[in-house]
Structure 1
């Protein structure tokens, strides 16, 4: 989504969808975006 050169993780859409699905599955109550 956001390239590593701009401070992002470099995830593509497939990686991000897996991450968000797992966050929803476990009911994560933390922050998704963390300021650096």
Structure 2
């Protein structure tokens, strides 16, 4: 369903943001490319 997809997108976004916070800056710039 659409709700499930939105929840998945939100959790993925939160996961990636949490990972970025633990990473040094060079890795962050690599991911942005």
TM interval, shorter chain, is: 0.3 to 0.5
Q: Which has the greater radius of gyration? A: 2
The two structures have a TM-score, normalised by structure 2, of 0.47
The two structures have a TM-score, normalised by structure 1, of 0.44
Q: Which has the higher helix share?
A: 2
